[in-house]
Amino acid sequence: MSDSTNTQLPPVSPFVVETDGLSKNFGERRVIKGVDLRVPRGVAFGYLGPNGAGKTTLIRTLLGLISPTAGSMRLFGLPVPARRAEALARVGAIVEEPLFHGHLTGHENLMIVAAARGAATSRRIGDVLDRVGLTVRADDRVKTYSLGMRQRLGIARCLLADPELLILDEPMNGLDPAGIQEFRGFVRDFVAEGRTIVLSSHLLDEVEKTCDHVAIVDNGAIVMQGSIEELRNAGGFGVLIEVDQSARGRALLSAHPSVERVLDDGASLRVSLRDSRAVSELNRVLVEAGLSVNRLEPAHASLEQRFLEVTTRLENAA
């Protein structure tokens, strides 16, 4: 490869990660199925799916740890693997659990990665240890670290690159509530600096609290992607209705042509509507039937509900 090839400016792209038809087979088993992923710049992006959905395999493919079977991918607009070294110089990543040489200290483990990244990186070791709060334990052997400290050292290792993009695989595994809280703060600060985080997780609630964009993956394929708001609203408009006779109310509402589905959660009826203008009409139907409507308000679907709806739809289609 010539110098001129390596120094070509990357094409301007609004996305830090783009994949087109990316697939990966392990023997006969297709683990990633034609994934078209778009991760915008400057967001916390959740790659959400159940265990075994192919999340880690996608991350390993993006990072060049394994080769794709088909499709193409770009990081910062740079084609990978053709310009892998250039692209990965701007990326920090933790794949699966962060592992280290246990016989070396935290500082020495970072020295090893800094040596691989380039001489200038070693000057950042003190700063990144300070940022993750490990300065005091930096000269202790890693085998004496707790899981939480290893997670923090893993983050420090990522930050050595001063990365524009951080890719974290199930980063909240093994963290206690305080650690999770701390991690959310770290993500917010990182994104506030204009950088991008991609984190994979099977914890829907955590992704909803931590990320602003998400892709839902199931069985190796992306079933939905967009901002959290877009995904919540993608299922149409919904209302929560509380009536004094919920069984009658549910029957009346289910029979109405504007209602797509009614779920009784015990306290109220969660109604999905085909037409948001039908809310007053539903209220009239219930009142005219002699029911008391105690509460009627817009329903905000959680990401979990959307996830379950999407995966249920897939199961039904299958």
Partner 1 sequence: MSTLALALPTPGLVSADVLRLRKRRGLVLVVSLLTIGAIVISNTIIELLHLSNSAAHGPAGGVTMLGHQAFTIAALGAVAAAIVGATAGSGDLDAGVYRDLVVTGRSRLALYASRIPAGLLFLVPFVASAYALEAGVSVVFAGFHPLPSTYVLTVTGLWVLLKVVFYYLLAVGIACLVGSRSYTIGALLAWTLAVTPILASIAALGKVRELVPGVALDSLMPAALGGSARQGPVIAMSAAAVAAVLVVWAVAALAAGAVRDTTRDA
Using rule CB under 8 A, residue 161 touches partner 1: yes
Using rule CB under 8 A, residue 173 touches partner 1: no
| Residue 116, φ and ψ in degrees, nearest 5 | -75, -30
Among candidate residues 304, 54, 318, 95, the one with its CA nearest the CA of residue 198? 95
- What mask of x and - would describe binding to partner 1 in positions 26 to 45, judged by CB under 8 A? --------------------
Quote the least distance from Cβ 87 to partner 1, whole Å. Answer: 7
For CA atoms 12, 71, 117, 131, the dihedral sign is positive
Stretch that binds partner 1, among 27-35, 102-110, 233-241, 294-302 (CB under 8 A): 102-110
Rank residues 3 and 288 by Cβ distance to partner 1 and give the closer one: 3
Footprint on residues 259-318 left by partner 1 (CB under 8 A)? none
Token pair belonging to 300: 């905000």
Stretch that binds partner 1, among 116-124, 215-223, 257-265, 292-300 (CB under 8 A): 116-124
Rank residues 144 and 312 by Cβ distance to partner 1 and give the closer one: 144
69, 49 contact by CB (below 8 A): no
Rank residues 101 and 300 by Cβ distance to partner 1 and give the closer one: 101
Using rule CB under 8 A, residue 60 touches partner 1: yes
- What mask of x and - would describe binding to partner 1 in positions 213 to 232, judged by CB under 8 A? --------------------
Please report, to the nearest 10 degrees, the dihedral formed by the alpha carbons of residues 139, 140, 142, 148 taken in order: -100
CA 95 – CA 76 distance, rounded (Å): 20
Rank residues 122 and 135 by Cβ distance to partner 1 and give the closer one: 122
Give every CB contact of residue 42 below 8 A, 6+ residues apart in sequence: 191, 194, 195, 196
Rank residues 93 and 296 by Cβ distance to partner 1 and give the closer one: 93
- Show the 3-state SS of 248-266: HHHHHHHHCCCEEEEEECC
Among 31, 32, 53, 63, binds partner 1 (CB under 8 A): 63
Rank residues 76 and 237 by Cβ distance to partner 1 and give the closer one: 76
Using rule CB under 8 A, residue 119 touches partner 1: yes
Among candidate residues 62, 123, 55, the one with its CA nearest the CA of residue 91? 62
Using rule CB under 8 A, residue 193 touches partner 1: no
CA 113 – CA 124 distance, rounded (Å): 12
Pairing of strands 237-243, 29-35: unpaired
CA 166 – CA 195 distance, rounded (Å): 8
Pairing of strands 196-201, 165-169: parallel
Using rule CB under 8 A, residue 239 touches partner 1: no
CA 31 – CA 226 distance, rounded (Å): 22
Quote the least distance from Cβ 41 to partner 1, whole Å. Answer: 20
Using rule CB under 8 A, residue 112 touches partner 1: yes
Stretch that binds partner 1, among 48-56, 89-97, 204-212, 268-276 (CB under 8 A): 89-97
Neighbours of 239 (CB within 10 A): 22
List residues near partner 1 by CB under 8 A. Answer: 1-3, 6, 60, 63-66, 84-89, 91, 93, 95, 98-104, 108-109, 111-119, 122, 157, 161
